[in-house]
Amino acid sequence: MAKPILIALALMFLAAMVLLPVVAIFDRAFAEGAGAYLAAIRDPETLAAIRLTIIAAMIVVPVNIVFGVAAAWLVARYRFWGRRALLILIELPFAMSPIVAGLCFLLIYGAYGPVGAALEPYGIQLMFNLIGIVLVSLFVTCPFVMREILPVLQVTGEAEEKAALTLGANGWQMFRHVVLPNISWGLAYGTVLTMARAMGEFGAVSVVSGAIRGRTMTLPLQIELLYNDYNATGAFAAATVLTLLALVTLVLRSVLNRFGPNREAHA
């Protein structure tokens, strides 16, 4: 039968293409021993990069949650003119090269762009700093939260929400006690996805960050810098941090798929 052959082929492909590269990261990170690994992680520039990456993600994630919940509610519960165009617009960042995305931001918010030039007299600079990093991270993570919540809202329907309103709940109470419990799993997973992507984005951030050592280097940019400096242990040690984050998102996904409510919405 074809079954064992196909399983073997699938396993070989995944092992060679996906599993081995990840194992190689840890192999190279620990090539000079655990001491060198720990020293590389504690390098001040790498720590500064980790700090900046976390700060940026802490701004991006809440903003994206507010947008994602609002957009999902809007698209799931109302029919209005331009609804399909809105959906396409939200999905657009998925299809764009990160370099093209970064360039778009530079062309409008940079010093030579219309918005950037208008703000410059007031001493406001949007690119080559934390604001620029946050803006492009918002762009590349734009669909994540919304995508996870929308199918859940569509499956649960609005009966419970209308019941709550009939029983005298105001809008905020309905949201807190009816909508939020329903979407909590999707919201949690969307949040993790957004966080992982915001911390891991490379191309778009490299266009707008300015890459000032110790100041506007996010962790992925720091990895590139260390790698190009022939500091293999440093680069791969920094890479293990982001790899662990990726593995955590995968574990959460399987947990959600297996035990979470509304499994049909996530299948």
Q: Is 118 within 8 Å of 125 (Cβ atoms)?
A: no
- For residue 7, the Cα-to-chain-centroid distance in whole angstroms is 32
Q: Which is nearer to other proteins, 56 or 196 (CB)?
A: 196
Return the exposure string of 190-210: e unless at least 16 CB atoms fall within 10 Å of the residue's CB, then b: bbbbbbbbbbbbbebbbbbbb
Q: Is 199 within 8 Å of 96 (Cβ atoms)?
A: no
CB of 235 to other proteins, least distance (A): 6
Q: Which is nearer to other proteins, 190 or 200 (CB)?
A: 200
Q: Which is nearer to other proteins, 84 or 123 (CB)?
A: 84
Q: Which is nearer to other proteins, 22 or 130 (CB)?
A: 22
Q: For tokens 């010093």, what's the residue?
A: 111
Q: Which is nearer to other proteins, 133 or 239 (CB)?
A: 239
Amino acid at 44: P
CB of 205 to other proteins, least distance (A): 10
Sign of the CA dihedral running 245, 207, 48, 40: positive
The number of residues in the chain equals: 267
CB of 207 to other proteins, least distance (A): 7
CB of 159 to other proteins, least distance (A): 11
The structure tokens listed for 5 are: 């052959």
Q: Which is nearer to other proteins, 22 or 48 (CB)?
A: 22
Work out the burial of residue 159: count CB atoms within 10 Å of its CB; fewer than 13 is exposed, 13-18 middle, 19 or more buried.
exposed
CB of 239 to other proteins, least distance (A): 5
CB of 164 to other proteins, least distance (A): 10
